[in-house]
Structure 1
């Protein structure tokens, strides 16, 4: 059974629908690649998926350890190469205003992030730089 149903809307724009939740996402080609840049580009979604997956797996570990990830945030920087045009690097910068003091759990969270399914699924040619600012 499909997970996502998609359609091309024209003008380098697509719409995807997550069938279980009926949530919709639009994509648009970036300005530097003939698009309008009015929505996430497909490569933006790849980069965003890495950060979201990392935090989801960290959340599973945090729940198991009875730890709250409140105030954890992150920023993603996507670096593209020119020839061929592809994602060269994804930089994930985590910030945590109220980090734990337990180094053992901190290390478990870092390991969880680095071994999330998206991180393990990306081509090894895509450099993954992860900064834990906590």
Structure 2
């Protein structure tokens, strides 16, 4: 369980597999395009707040506090759906992103440092 108090439904909390510090990874994806925007971290209470407010809420590992995406920047994430992965250790949030998702001001956290990789091809039969 999370070390911080939480109002998360026990039926959900009991299913989560957390890191040693009580967190689960949370991926934000643009709901209509499929664009992967960012990865953040949630504890039970951040997930509760996300599920009950319609706004993406994260736990800041560096500041040790909750933050609602866009509360200060205006770059909000409005929840469209939330799902757990098959291992129950990652949350996928489909969101409507307003403005930049990345703290650097970029639309996504994954467009700045693209690595060179061999493009794989599916074998033909």
TM-score by length of 1: 0.31
Higher relative contact order (CA 8 A, sep 6+): 2
Could you say which structure has the higher helix fraction? 1
Task: Give the alignment's TM-score, normalised by structure 2.
Answer: 0.32
User: Which structure: larger Rg?
Assistant: 1
